[in-house]
């Protein structure tokens, strides 16, 4: 059955969405899942209740996504039982899970970029007339759903033309296009700015009012404490505990999740920044029509220079230009020499490295090994002869990367696609560090990364800065941008509108410029 456009605003109708006789909507009892000899989940029991937001918290690789895929009918449990309103059920495929009222919104986008927003939202359950897709009804229903969700996107727009954040919102609308009684959201804000995240939080509030059970997976602790009712912690595939949100703290949850004390997620600067040194990188009046206008800034050796702005402000376009993608006007100067960056190869030769925001499609070759990915950018310059990679070079670089970044792996020849998101990001970073760049651009380096992996990435950032590397940090997480940056610029509507020293700077001040409430 197709979703009514106003379904999120509807109130629960008795037992349809509520618990029956106090039973959870879904209960998992002693669930285990093995893939060959590897135990992904061990003896996990959870109760998911209607009208409540239940957050599943854990590091990458803790088993959260595997558990959700069991609920979604993607995997069958090796052991244990699944109950729906107290009745035993078994899902052989995702269609059976959907028919039971379960909808999952995956972190990894599943959109067809050659189709419209509306076609993606209702893929597999399009409104039909005489057996043929009724496109008039399709576009009308999709636009009504988007409007009800306060998602400002044209239902007729091709997905290929949307930003990553807009695609994430379409993925959310797609997951809500069915009348689900349990909605699973896996890292739904990973590509969203604070403004888009507010849209999502309002959607969650509507779902709760409707009586829908919501399972929420996120590494952003502030939002977890804001929207959760119940919080369960998993570690190494095992269930640890469940707390009422009001009876725990962020620090306690982090300790439970990582199994060790972490006094500060953001490691402080230990070596003072030498502000007397001349800039290593200077950008002067950089402009690309339709992308960004009149961008000027400078970065000193050893400085972490932050870029903040709402989605669509143009931050990533500026970073692409600094990496030789596009033909902007203006000047890019390094060590006093004007660079002519015509390609990423020319940027790499100049000493610039770029960790993109889309690690799976632009940063890694998932089917290749850790060793192949780590040495991908550096072997031609440092570790090959006649085009053949030196096995000694590959072994040394990969061993150093695994040790330095604390990559959790079965070995250097494990396929990167088999690693958790946090460990994949560590591989991407290691790939560029092997070049020892002068300037390192990090575009959303901790997106979709758990708190333990974030700490390792921040630690390496501090080490690099102490050694003199100039770092440009693009982040949509304002606490991260403020804590890790020495200076911070704000972009709005394709322009730089304000530059700050971060000492004493508040989130409210930054957001006032990012939204246009304050003018430079």
Arithmetic mean of pLDDT, 402-414:
84
Tokens of 135: 């496109």
Q: What is the pLDDT of residue 379?
A: 62
Neighbour count for residue 207 (Cβ, 10 Å)? 22
How do residues 248-289 score in pLDDT, each as one tens digit? 988 888 788 877 555 567 888 888 899 899 999 999 999 999
3-state class (DSSP) for residue 490: strand
Tokens of 137: 């009804």
Please state, in angstroms and rounded to a whole number, the distance separating the CA atoms of residues 43 and 32: 5
Report percent pLDDT > 90 for the chain.
Answer: 47
Q: Could you tell me the pTM of the whole model?
A: 0.62
Tokens of 164: 């990553």
CB burial string 320-353: b at 16+ within 10 A, e below:
bbbbbbeebebebebeeeebebeebeebbebbbb
Where along the chain do the CATH 3.40.50.300 domains lie? 7-258, 279-351+438-449+465-520
CATH number of 7-258: 3.40.50.300
How do residues 462-486 score in pLDDT, each as one tens digit? 999 999 999 999 998 888 999 999 9
Fold of 279-351+438-449+465-520: Rossmann fold (3.40.50)
**Residue 247 pLDDT level (bands cut at 50, 70, 90):** very high
Q: What is the pLDDT of residue 466?
A: 93
Q: What is the pLDDT of residue 429?
A: 86
CB burial string 160-197: b at 16+ within 10 A, e below:
eebebbbbbbbbbbbbbbbbbbbbbbbbbbbbbbbebb
Pairing state between β 495-501 and 38-48: unpaired
Residue 344 or 9, more confident: 344
Mean pLDDT of the chain: 86
The residues facing 415 across adjacent strands are: 369
Arithmetic mean of pLDDT, 293-317:
92
Which span out of 197-201, 294-298, 386-390, 401-405 was modeled with the highest average pLDDT?
294-298
* Helix (H) or strand (E) segment spanning residue 175: helix 164-175
How do residues 154-207 score in pLDDT, each as one tens digit? 999 999 998 877 888 898 888 888 878 999 998 888 777 777 888 889 889 988
Please state, in angstroms and rounded to a whole number, the distance separating the CA atoms of residues 499 and 507: 14
- pLDDT at residue 59 greater than cutoff 80: no
How do residues 14-52 score in pLDDT, each as one tens digit? 333 344 446 899 999 999 998 887 788 999 999 999 999
Residue 269 or 389, more confident: 269
Please state, in angstroms and rounded to a whole number, the distance separating the CA atoms of residues 399 and 371: 9
* Helix (H) or strand (E) segment spanning residue 234: strand 230-235
The residues facing 34 across adjacent strands are: 39
Arithmetic mean of pLDDT, 113-142:
91
């Amino acid at each position: 059955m197709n979703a009514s456009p106003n379904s999120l605003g509807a109130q629960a109708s008795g037992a349809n969405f509520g618990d029956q006789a106090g039973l959870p909507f879904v209960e998992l009892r002693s669930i285990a899942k093995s893939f060959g000899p590897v135990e992904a989940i061990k003896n996990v029991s959870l109760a998911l209740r209607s009208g409540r937001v239940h957050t599943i918290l854990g590091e990458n690789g803790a088993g959260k996504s595997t558990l959700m895929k069991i609920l979604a009918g993607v995997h069958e449990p090796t052991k244990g039982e699944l109950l729906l309103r107290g009745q035993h059920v078994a899902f052989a495929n995702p269609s059976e899970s959907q028919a039971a009222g379960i909808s999952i919104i995956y972190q990894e986008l599943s959109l067809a970029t050659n189709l419209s927003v509306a076609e993606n939202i209702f893929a597999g359950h399009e409104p039909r007339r005489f057996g043929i897709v009724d496109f008039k009804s399709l576009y009308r229903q999709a636009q009504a759903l988007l409007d009800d969700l306060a998602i400002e996107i044209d239902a007729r727009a091709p997905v290929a033309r949307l930003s990553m954040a807009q695609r994430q919102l379409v993925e959310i609308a797609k997951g809500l296009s069915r009348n689900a009684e349990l909605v699973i959201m896996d890292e739904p804000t990973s590509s969203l700015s604070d403004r888009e995240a507010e849209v999502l939080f309002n959607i969650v509030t509507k779902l709760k009012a409707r009586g829908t059970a919501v399972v929420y997976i996120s590494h952003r602790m502030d939002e977890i404490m804001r929207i959760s009712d119940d919080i369960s912690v998993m570690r190494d595939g095992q269930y640890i505990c469940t707390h009422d949100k009001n009876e725990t703290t962020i620090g306690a949850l982090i300790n439970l999740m990582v199994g060790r004390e972490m006094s500060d997620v953001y490691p402080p600067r230990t070596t003072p920044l030498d502000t007397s040194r001349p800039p290593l990188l200077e950008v002067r009046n950089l402009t690309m029509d339709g992308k960004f206008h009149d961008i000027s800034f400078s970065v000193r050796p050893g400085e972490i220079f932050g870029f903040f702005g709402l989605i669509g402000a143009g931050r990533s376009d500026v970073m692409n230009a600094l990496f030789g993608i596009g033909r902007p006007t203006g000047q890019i100067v390094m060590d006093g020499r004007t660079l002519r960056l015509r390609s990423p190869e020319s940027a790499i030769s100049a000493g610039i490295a770029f960790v993109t925001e889309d690690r799976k499609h632009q940063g890694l070759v998932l089917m290749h090994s850790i060793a192949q990915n780590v040495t991908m950018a550096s072997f031609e310059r440092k570790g090959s002869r006649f085009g053949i990679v030196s096995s000694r070079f590959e072994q040394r670089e990969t061993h150093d990367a695994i040790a330095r970044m604390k990559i959790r792996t079965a070995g250097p020849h494990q396929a990167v696609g088999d690693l958790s998101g946090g460990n994949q990001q560590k591989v991407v970073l290691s790939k560029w560090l092997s070049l020892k760049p002068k300037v390192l651009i990090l575009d959303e380096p901790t997106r979709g990364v758990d708190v333990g992996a974030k700490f390792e990435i921040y630690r390496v950032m501090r080490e690099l800065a102490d050694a003199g590397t100039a770092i440009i940090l693009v982040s949509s997480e304002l606490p991260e941008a403020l804590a890790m940056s020495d200076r911070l610029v704000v972009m709005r509507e394709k322009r730089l509108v304000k530059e700050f020293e971060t000492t004493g700077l508040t989130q409210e001040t930054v957001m006032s410029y990012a939204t246009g409430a304050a003018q430079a």
